[in-house]
Amino acid sequence: MTEPLRLGIAGLGTVGVGVIRIIARHTEMLAARAGRPIEIVAVSARSRSKDRGVDLTPYGWEDDPVALARRDDVDVYVELMGGEDGPAKASVEAAIGAGKHVVTANKAMLAIHGQKMAEAAEAANVALRFEAAVAGGIPVIKALTEGLAGNRITRVMGVMNGTCNYILTRMENEGVPYDEVFAEAQALGYLEADPTLDVGGIDAGHKLALLSAIAFGTRVDFAGVDLEGIERISITDIEQARDMGFRIKLLGVAQLTGRGLEQRMQPCLVPASSPLGQLENAMNMVVLEGDAVGQIVLRGAGAGEGPTASAVMSDVIDIARGFRLSTFGQPASSLAYVQAAQASAPAAFYLRLTLKDAPGVLAKVARALADAGVSIDRMRQYSHKDTAAPVLMVTHKTTRAELDHALEGIKATGVSLEDPVAIRIEEV
């Protein structure tokens, strides 16, 4: 096929501009690899006059992304605006309704509306691709839907938000408290307009929900993701975790068990010597485990102009080649309804307690733990100058319900001066 594949791009932020640059820079290479030319025919954004550092004069302009999605001279609608509803959702639905293929980087929209959109795309016999929505330049969607298609996936795990990894890494390496690093990340533009999307684990939770659907053949269930952010992580936790051979990461874990689909996005301790433990700064890492292949580790830039635009172009080239694949790796109608697991698998936990410095306090804590069925693997008490005694513990494997029961028991004794901090230790 020699006819060009014609793109309409909605959203001219960092990623949209990156896509334009790749197409302008590698026109001949892309045509050779795709088997046909790839060209941009029209674009859409909030402001027509803004200087974006690229020449937009060769392209048509639409103020309304829905109009762009319906243009007769557009074959593929590339949605890079973001937002789970509003113009992004309306324009993608319009594109599918008009028989256009869709490429998007919008994890929030797909985590909420992905099932219906996938069903609509497959009914219209058009592609809905989203490699750029998860882990930036890491080709994890392709890995799951293509490279590992012959495996029963047993676990998906990873660091999927570079901003959180940057904050935690900087806290550890520089000894800078959370509030200071948070302000620094905000000034550098690393945080979303609503910072809780990043530090609250929501952004990464969207990504985990999408990976779970592909990995386990289940309907996207973002509501079933157990979310916990990094806001309560202190320098003390990071330093003491390091002393015990661990590092703290905002870690996503998904696995299908007899209890249902377990999806967690929460701070965890991982061995410092593990690939996840060695991940620095704003990088992402996804670990996939399959029954035939074993463990696969994918590492790379999780955001930014080049990496995310690279992922967009991988989907565009697949469409240009005529490659068709169901949105989530199998027909959307075949994705199973699976109940969210009500409890996570047992694990060891790190506990940080601030206790009264008085005789018998540790005995009361030990009794509260024992009454809840929680046993202590290791304990360390640090020197202190006031009446607040910092005590760190690592438990043997236990359930979160048993641990919460134990923590309530400790509070009831009156010996705890602050709310205890409990962080899961993940086996990686």
Q: What is the pLDDT of residue 62?
A: 97
Q: Are residues 216 and 94 in the same domain?
A: no
- 308, part of any domain: no
Residues 126 and 217 occupy one common structural domain:
no
Q: Give the whole-number percent of the chain exceeding pLDDT 90.
A: 82
Q: What is the pLDDT of residue 186?
A: 82
Same domain for 108 and 147: no
> In the annotation, is 249 catalytic?
no
Same domain? 19 vs 39: yes
Name the residue range of residue 187's domain: 142-300
Domain boundary among 133, 163, 189: 133
Could you read off the pLDDT of 244-303 as tens digits, one per residue? 899 999 999 999 988 899 999 999 999 999 999 999 988 999 999 999 999 999 999 988
The CATH number covering residue 352 comes to 3.30.70.260
Is 321 within a domain? no
Domain end position, chosen among 300, 317, 334: 300
Residues 158 and 278 in one domain: yes
What is residue 120's predicted lDDT score, i.e. its pLDDT? 98
Whether 343 is covered by a domain: the verdict is no
Q: Does residue 339 lie within any of the structural domains? A: no
CA separation for the pair 95, 413 (Å, rounded): 61
pLDDT band at 1 (very low <50, low <70, confident <90, very high): low
274, 367: one domain: no
* Domains in the chain, number: 3
Rounded average pLDDT over 218-240: 93
pLDDT tens-digit series, residues 47-77? 998 999 999 999 999 999 999 999 999 999 9
Asked if the structure places residue 324 within a domain, the reply is no
- 96 lies in the same domain as 162: no
CA 224 to chain centre: 15
List for the chain the helix, strand, coil content (%; round to 5).
Answer: 40, 25, 35
Query: Rounded mean pLDDT of the chain?
Result: 94
**Neighbour-count burial of 123, counting CB atoms closer than 10 A to its CB (0-12 exposed, 13-18 middle, 19+ buried):** exposed
List 100, 107, 207, 249, catalytic entry: 207
In this structure, the answer to whether residues 209 and 256 fall within a common structural domain is yes
Q: Is the predicted pLDDT of residue 153 greater than 90, yes or no?
A: yes
With a pLDDT cut of 70, the percent of the chain lying above it is 99
Nearest to 382 by CA among 286, 240, 249, 220: 240
The model's pLDDT over 6-20, given as tens digits with 9 standing for 90+, comes to 999 999 999 999 999
383 pLDDT above the threshold of 90? no
Evaluate whether 343 touches 259 at the Cβ level (below 8 Å).
Answer: yes
pLDDT for res 385: 66
Other CB atoms within 10 Å distance of the CB of residue 180: 13
For residues 113-138, give the mean pLDDT: 97
pLDDT tier, 349 (very low <50, low <70, confident <90, very high otherwise):
very high
For residue 9, being part of any structural domain is answered with yes
| CB contact set of 408 (below 8 Å; sequence gap of 6+) | none
Task: Look up the CATH number of the domain holding residue 40.
Answer: 3.40.50.720
End-to-end CA distance of the chain: 46
Q: Cβ of 285: how many Cβ atoms within 10 Å? A: 24
Final residue of a structural domain among 133, 159, 177 = 133
Residue 338 binned pLDDT confidence (cut-offs 50, 70, 90): very high
CA distance 392 to 355: 10
Instruction: Tell me the C-alpha distance between 101 and 106, whole Å.
Output: 15
Asked whether residue 156 falls in the same domain as residue 288, the answer is yes
Is 283 found in the same domain as 352?
no
Residues 182 and 278 in one domain: yes
If pLDDT is split at 50, 70 and 90, which confidence band does 357 have? Answer: confident
CA angle centred on 340, ends 403 and 423, rounded to 5°: 30
Beta bridge partners of 256: 261
Q: What is the mean pLDDT of residues 122-129?
A: 97
Q: Is 41 inside any structural domain? A: yes
pLDDT value of position 323 = 94
Shared domain for 119 and 255, answered yes or no, is: no
179: domain CATH number is: 3.30.360.10
Per the model's pLDDT, the better-predicted residue between 319 and 343 turns out to be 319
Residue 421 clears pLDDT 70, i.e. is over it: yes
Q: What is the mean pLDDT of residues 114-128?
A: 97
pLDDT digits (tens, 9 = 90+) for 174-205: 998 999 999 988 887 777 778 888 999 999 99
- 309 found inside a domain: no
